Amino acid sequence: MVANRKVRGLFLVLAVLITAIAVVVAMPRNVPPLASLGESSVNTAPAMKISLAGAPRNEAPKEEPKEQPVEPEPEPEPEPEPEPEPEPEPEPEPEPEPEPEPEPEPEPEPEPEPEPEIVPEPEPEPQPEPTPEPVKNPAPEPVEETDLPEAEEYAEDTTEESAEDSSADQQVELSAGNSSEVDNYLTRLSRHLSRYYEYPRRARRLGQEGAPVIIFEFSRDGTLLSHSLRNSSGHELLDEAAMDMLEQAAPLPEVPESMQGKSFSYALPVRFRLR
Higher-pLDDT residue of 95 and 158 is 95
Residue 180: inside a domain, yes or no?
yes
Share of the chain above pLDDT 70, in %: 49
Highest mean pLDDT: which range of 13-17, 30-34, 95-99, 115-119: 13-17
Within 10 angstroms of residue 218's Cβ, the number of other Cβ atoms is: 24
pLDDT beyond 80 at 225: yes
Higher-pLDDT residue of 97 and 273 is 273
Highest mean pLDDT: which range of 110-114, 123-127, 131-135, 248-252: 248-252
Amino acid at 124: P
Average pLDDT over residues 249-253: 95
Q: What is the pLDDT of residue 82?
A: 63
pLDDT beyond 60 at 157: no
Tens of pLDDT, residue by residue over 234-243, are 999 999 999 9
What residue numbers bound the domain in which 212 lies?
A: 170-269
C-alpha span between 244 and 196 (Å, rounded): 9
Q: What is the pLDDT of residue 130?
A: 42
CA distances to 98, 115, 146 from 273, in Å:
49, 10, 72
User: What is the rounded average pLDDT for all residues in the chain?
Assistant: 72
Q: What is the pLDDT of residue 262?
A: 92
C-alpha span between 212 and 197 (Å, rounded): 13
Within 10 angstroms of residue 233's Cβ, the number of other Cβ atoms is: 22
Residue 231: inside a domain, yes or no?
yes
Residue 66: inside a domain, yes or no?
no
Q: What is the pLDDT of residue 222?
A: 94
Q: What is the pLDDT of residue 132?
A: 43
Tens of pLDDT, residue by residue over 36-53, are 555 545 555 555 555 555
Within 10 angstroms of residue 211's Cβ, the number of other Cβ atoms is: 18
* Candidate from 91-105, 110-124, 169-183, 223-237 with smallest mean pLDDT: 110-124
Residue 256: inside a domain, yes or no?
yes
Judge contact between 272 and 113, C-beta under 8 A.
no
Residue 233: inside a domain, yes or no?
yes
Tens of pLDDT, residue by residue over 185-203, are 999 999 999 999 999 999 9
Q: What is the pLDDT of residue 48?
A: 58
**pLDDT confidence bin for 275, thresholds 50/70/90:** confident
Q: What is the pLDDT of residue 236?
A: 95
C-alpha span between 261 and 171 (Å, rounded): 6
CATH at 243: 3.30.1150.10
Amino acid at 88: P
Residue 202: inside a domain, yes or no?
yes
Tens of pLDDT, residue by residue over 255-274, are 999 999 999 999 999 999 99
pLDDT beyond 90 at 7: no
Residue 91: inside a domain, yes or no?
no
**pLDDT confidence bin for 135, thresholds 50/70/90:** very low
Residue 197: inside a domain, yes or no?
yes
Average pLDDT over residues 83-110: 64
Total number of domains in the chain = 1
Short-list 229, 248, 235, 228, CA closest to 200: 235
H/E stretch holding 229:
strand 224-231
